Amino acid sequence: MKKIIIDTDPGHDDALALMLAVKSGMFDILAITTVAGNSTIENCTRNARYIMKLVDSEDIPIYSGSEKPLKRDLILANVHGKSGLEGIDPANESNLTRNAVDKIISLIEKNPEEITLVTLGPLSNVALAIQKNPESMKKLKEVIIMGGAIRVPGNKNRVAEFNFFVDPDAADIVFKFPVKKTIVPLDVCNKVQMQLSDFERISNEKLKTPVLAMMKPFIENIYKYDMKIKAALVYDALTVYYLINPKICKIKKYNIQIETESNLTRGMAVADLRDRPEAGPNVSVVEYIPKERFVNDFVGVLSR
């Protein structure tokens, strides 16, 4: 089983990703670390604990991390509502531990070259860990990142995807760090849209009921605040799915830098698309995930 740490800011799509990761049975999830992004650190951590209880995995440790970006004020997402999980609005305690960065470092030290770090939110925790102990972070096997918009418009400004927009300075640190990286950008996520009827196919009633409760306002809010579509965009679930089934996905390598200076293009993942890039590739980009295969597999796994 692949050893993974999931760094996340739940979030509706994060919730689906966590369910998929656990129910797939393919991963040894060493920890879940939370970061402020889609909502506050209190909400994101509380939501993560709620989801783990829902999938009978409260034994997986949850450590809370960064409460804000490295250098900037926190900007929250609209599509997830005030609680971060509108439709469910969990009421359990967040029980903040405030030690995610140290836990990431210590777990990597105990499992050198074995851990895949799956990041589903802003990269604040990862960047702080790199700054604190770069030698330990070099012992990561790889980092799988939900983020970026390469050839499509952004979902937070004209060109930037939300996670990189929220903490561009952290993304910049991670992209410059010498560790194997793969990103799942908006380019592929926008093409894999799920309808409410897809979620209704989940046969496990314990998950189906809360998933439908979450997805109804999520779909409404995506239409209201984001793209003019009446469907769920399940970015983070696709990121976990890539790790489950990488062979059916298409990947291409690029040199990408993160824009940190401009207000207009803050957080843009600037890919060198020229025939002769001035530098070698530093990241793999997932460019295709088959929609029907993903939806069928997702429904199948959550129905277990």
> First and final CA of the chain: distance in angstroms?
19
Least Cα distance to 144 among 21, 226, 228 occurs for 21
Count of helices and strands (H, E) across the chain: 12, 12
Query: What is the count of structural domains for the chain?
Result: 1
Looking up tokens 């995506």, which residue turns up?
A: 222
Q: Enumerate the β-bridge partners of residue 194.
A: 232
pLDDT of residue 202: 98
Which of 239, 250, 245 lies closest to 297 in space, CA to CA? 245
The reported pLDDT for the residue numbered 75 is 97
pLDDT tens sequence across 22-74:
999 999 999 999 999 999 999 999 999 999 999 999 999 999 999 999 999 99
Residues 6+ apart with CB under 8 A from 78: 221, 224, 225, 226
Angle (CA) 260-261-264 rounded to 5° is 95
Q: What is the pLDDT of residue 87?
A: 98
Token couple for 154 = 């952004």
Query: d(Cα 229, Cα 216) in Å, to the nearest integer?
Result: 13
Beta carbons of 239 and 144 less than 8 angstroms apart: yes
> Residue 290 class from Cβ within 10 Å (0-12 exposed, 13-18 middle, 19+ buried)?
middle
- 270 and 172 Cβ atoms separated by less than 8 Å: no
Residue 239's domain comprises 2-302
In tens, the pLDDT along 139-176 reads: 999 999 999 999 999 999 999 999 999 999 999 999 99
Distances (CA, A) of 155 to 51, 121, 159, 254, 279: 25, 14, 8, 21, 28
Report which secondary-structure segment, H or E, holds 7.
strand 2-8
> CATH no. for residue 144?
3.90.245.10
What's the mean pLDDT in 217-240? Answer: 97
At residue 57's C-alpha, the angle toward residues 37 and 221, to 5°, is 35
For residue 176, what pLDDT is reported?
A: 98
Mean pLDDT of the region 216-242: 97
> What is the Cα–Cα distance from 122 to 38, expressed in whole angstroms?
9
